[in-house]
Amino acid sequence: MSGSVLPDPAPLILRGQRFDASHPAVMAVINRTPDSFYSPARHTLDDALRRLDEVVDQGADIVDVGGVRAGQDGPEVTVAEEIDRVRPFLEQARRHHPEILLSLDTWRSEVARACAGLVDVINDTWAGADPQLVQVAAQLETGHVVSHTGGLPPRTDPHHVHYDNGVVADALTQLAAAAARDEAAGIPSERIIVDPTLDFGKTTADSLACVRATDRFVALGHPVLVAASRKDFVGETLDLPVDDRLEGTLATVAVSAWLGATVVRAHDIAATRRVVDMVAAIRGDRAPALSLRGV
């Protein structure tokens, strides 16, 4: 809207790299799991390394690797099994692409410790279920993703979800408290990443409300991560299976980036890179790559 004041997102600074409104970070998903909800994201080690080459070429800034499916379906994965899935990938990723930032998707402090020196971000999608994880992030001097799951324990699907004061108010309160704990532990503000955590502990209406409120999460003063890629709230909104959710995902990305999200987690890297760069240009934060027409 002409004359509107757009949110000024807090920058994310990791290993000397800065991401802000002019260059939001695209975080690629590479799952070292045989049961990811999106089958193209299931990778053996060799396949994961091939995919790493692809996403780097397509414009990814961060690669997020996980070793355990988020949902409750599927077998239990022990700490040792999770380490065996993620550490060899991180070791080779660091060796072959030292410039790329690496994120570890885990809620377990033992797994994070086992990957010391290999990761730039610890992505705790289960809202501090392991209270030691924030201390590990501080000790390893990594970024740390704080999340909102409505109090659910790891690998729990939402059921009869209700928030007395609404999901946005609850998420703002919980995320502000989590960010304050991170700062108290010694993690700098620019490395604390706030994630409203769409789908987790939320109905579809709740996730849509959080997307609409992205600017309110930005106002907490930390870089905001939006992880919408092919999720259930997109599928339910459009009544589409996971393989057909790209357009709904990209619409969510565009709205979130317009409202100030600094990091976007994605399966479809080239399309996501183009969307966030285009939104940055429309916002006026990024110059066009070319400006020849009519000159």
SS3 sequence of 163-198: CCCCHHHHHHHHHHHHHHHHHHHCCCHHHEEEECCC
Chain segment 187-208, per-residue pLDDT in tens: 999 999 999 999 999 999 999 9
Which residue, chain included where needed, has tokens 């610890």?
A: 122
Residue appearing with tokens 């890179």: 273
How far apart are the two ends of the chain, measured CA to CA in Å?
26
User: Strand pairing partners for 51?
Assistant: none
Taking the C-alpha atoms of 126, 132, 135 and 140 in order, what is their torsion angle to the nearest 10 degrees?
-80
170: left (phi over 0), alpha (psi -120 to 50) or beta: alpha
Span 24-66, pLDDT tens digits: 999 999 998 876 665 666 678 888 999 999 999 999 999 999 9
3-state SS assignment for residue 1: coil
Question: How far is residue 295's CA from residue 53's CA, in Å, rounded to a whole number?
Answer: 38
Ranges of each domain in the chain: 23-283
Query: 23-283 has which CATH code?
Result: 3.20.20.20
Give tens-digit pLDDT for 123-145.
Answer: 999 999 999 999 999 999 999 99
R_g of the chain, CA atoms, integer Å:
18
